[in-house]
Amino acid sequence: MEGTWLPLHRHPGFSVAAFSLAFRAVGHLLHALVPLPKVLECDPRRAWKWRNLCVSLAHSLLTGPWAATCVGLWPEMLKDLYSHSTPVSYLLICTSSGYFIQDTGDIIFSGQARGSWEFLLHHFLVLWCFLYALYSQRYVGGAVVALLVEINSVTLHTRLLLKLAQAHATTLYTINKLLNLLTYVTFRLSTQFYITWYLLSNYSLLDHAACLLGTMFLMNTMILVYFYRLLRADVFPSRKAFTERMGTHSNGFSDFLKN
């Protein structure tokens, strides 16, 4: 491990808890500073979703560039996802783990667990990988590379916020839609599949590779399903529009794409 930050390494739980509280505070701050669109004032569930997405966007704006900076400063991380780590990278995983714990709690204690079960499953998969990396001090590089997906999450959350505000007919939405598709392929699909390839290629040399591979295959399935839904919603919407006109619109889309 390149450099050590012993207090952080010995007690990562305290750091994760502190960042969880910090993101909770960020949520309250954004609630006070970011006005709720008038179209959401009479809909408690969508109002909650707006506030939740604002915190998610703040996390993505912080951790996406942070992960890209780590990879840019230490490109050798890409070749050694298992043992390469730096204090800055380790701190990034503590920060992001705190967010996922906070968001999990927000979903559950706000009574949104049933309608957001896919998010909870995703958060559980991410958290066990991140916490394992923090406590074992292995796969920190892999967790950092995985956080490159947050670059796509910036446009993904922006897309959902614009839809909630009923601004999906604007030029901003169109531009963001194209950027979202581009970053989805570049930073989400490519990153996930690269990590999967790394685990498969180095399977015999890695600790708990089977568990991690199982997690990655499950997450890969999820992101491919999400990508299909995204293409249906933003690239091939004609069939959806036709069924809506015929009054037979299905409610099959998850909250990942709903406004």
CA angle 216, 222, 226 (to 5 degrees): 140
Tokens of 165: 């505000």
Return the HEC string of 59-93. HHHHHHHHHHHHHHHCHHHHCCCCCCCCHHHHHHH
If you search the block for the tokens 């901003």, which residue do you land on?
172
SS3 1: coil
Task: For residue 196, give every residue at least 6 positions away whose Cβ sits within 8 Å of its Cβ, in sequence order, or none.
Answer: 213, 216, 217, 220
Residues (pLDDT < 50) of the chain are 1-4, 242-259
- Say what the pLDDT of residue 193 is: 96
pLDDT tens for 56-105 read 999 999 999 999 999 999 999 999 999 999 999 999 999 999 999 999 99
- Say what the pLDDT of residue 6 is: 53
d(CA 111, CA 120): 12
Q: 58 — phi, psi (to 5°)?
A: -60, -40
- Say what the pLDDT of residue 249 is: 39
- Say what the pLDDT of residue 248 is: 38
Tokens of 229: 């839904």
d(CA 81, CA 95): 19
10 Å CB burial of residue 136 (0-12, 13-18, 19+) is exposed
**Of residues 146, 122, 113, the one with CA closest to residue 221:** 122
DSSP string, 22-60: HHHHHHHHHHHHSPPPGGGTT-HHHHHHHHHHHHHHHHH
- Say what the pLDDT of residue 169 is: 87
pTM for this prediction? 0.88
